[in-house]
Amino acid sequence: MYENPIFLVYICHMIKLNVKDETSRLRSVILGTAKSIGPIPTLEEAYDPKSLMHIKAGTYPVEEDMVREMDAVAQVFNKYGVQVFRPKLIQDYNQIFTRDIGFVIEDTFIKANILPDRERELDAIKHVLQQIDPEKIIRFPEEAHIEGGDVMPYGEYIFVGTYREEDYPDYIIARTNMLAVDHLAKAFPEKEIVSFNLRKSNTDAYANALHLDCCFQPVGEGKAILHKNGFLQEEEYQWLVDFFGKQNIFEITAEEMFNMNSNVFSIAPDVVISEKNFTRLNTWLRKQGITVEEVPYAQIAKQEGLLRCSTLPLVRE
């Protein structure tokens, strides 16, 4: 039988998406880029209170430092044999935080409904999306706001950060609404969706959980990093404590939450990439038998995002 060699090559290079949780062995990922990031934003252009704070203080990070930090992460991925995709470069544009623009659950890629100003970031990963079965790429209606930092698959569960209060439209840092949570439930009817009402502030970075991964993240085997004040409802925080067990939780302080301690990234249950200055967290992780790959990421953290924010896993084992 005649076989078209071009068709065979196409089939061989298709990406078979698979993400069931936050910690299974990583095989393929989109890592953002800090190259050609453009000028320092104006105060009016700031998307979050931490960036706002550093713009005002004259301490906003410079491109050279952020490129160096992201290169360190790429080197760790290379060490562990992870396939790394990077966005196509958009001149003078911030493309660091790929987690915002999409996420994978099981074998499906969900395009995020992000801030309208950032739609170009999805165009910059078209070369990756073209390697995915188009029937496995979905997008919710425009009014269903959602970003990947708020979505965490965990086996039969999907944990989702949201903001349920009536003043939702007043917060540029409220990125996932309840309409999107409903659409997530419809898209994955076999999953149990658990949503968490997050604390938001446009002006105080110490009182703002931009995404769920800014105050919570599973690590290792049945363990989690957690910050109580990131949650508006104490009973929802308590649900997580009961779910994981108090003995399996590393509770971070307000200062550690501000520095993004919960925003590390797992390559495997026993391998985590973490910021080198997270001394208390990294010590705890090692006590759990987890290898900690330390990288410098303090400059990128000034934009209220860290390692999980700048990675978009496509395939985990």
Instruction: Find the CATH number of the domain harbouring 61.
Output: 3.75.10.10
Q: Which two tokens stand for residue 213?
A: 């991964």
Q: What is the pLDDT along the chain (317 residues), one digit of tens a residue?
A: 444 544 444 445 799 999 999 999 999 999 999 999 888 888 888 778 888 888 889 999 999 999 999 999 999 999 999 999 999 999 999 999 999 999 999 999 999 987 777 889 999 999 999 999 999 999 999 999 999 999 999 999 999 999 998 887 777 767 899 999 999 999 999 999 999 999 988 888 888 888 999 999 999 999 999 999 999 999 999 999 999 999 999 999 999 999 999 999 999 999 999 999 999 999 999 999 999 999 999 999 998 889 999 999 999 99
The helix or strand, by DSSP H or E, that contains position 314, with its residue range, turns out to be strand 311-316
d(CA 112, CA 97): 12
Cβ atoms of 233 and 207 closer than 8 Å: no
1 belongs to a structural domain: no
293 belongs to a structural domain: yes
pLDDT of 173 reads 66
Q: What are the strands, taking DSSP E only, across 137-277?
A: 137-139, 151-154, 157-162, 192-197, 216-219, 223-226, 249-251, 265-268, 271-275
pLDDT of 11 reads 46
CB-CB neighbours of 70 under 10 Å: 23
301 belongs to a structural domain: yes
- CA-angle at 39, arms to 38 and 40, nearest 5°: 125
Domains in the chain, number: 1
7 belongs to a structural domain: no
pLDDT of 95 reads 95
Strand 271-275, strand 265-268: pairing: antiparallel
Q: In the chain, where does DSSP find H-type helix?
A: 5-12, 49-57, 63-79, 120-123, 126-129, 178-187, 234-244, 254-258, 279-287
86 belongs to a structural domain: yes
85 belongs to a structural domain: yes
6 belongs to a structural domain: no
Q: Which two tokens stand for residue 44?
A: 């009016």
Q: Which residue type, as a one-letter code, is found at position 162? A: T
Show the domain range for 222.
14-316
8 belongs to a structural domain: no
d(CA 110, CA 139): 6
pLDDT of 167 reads 84
DSSP-derived secondary structure for 70-130: HHHHHHHHHHTT-EEE-PPP-TT--B--GGGGEEEEBTEEEE-B--GGGTHHHHTTHHHHT
pLDDT of 253 reads 96
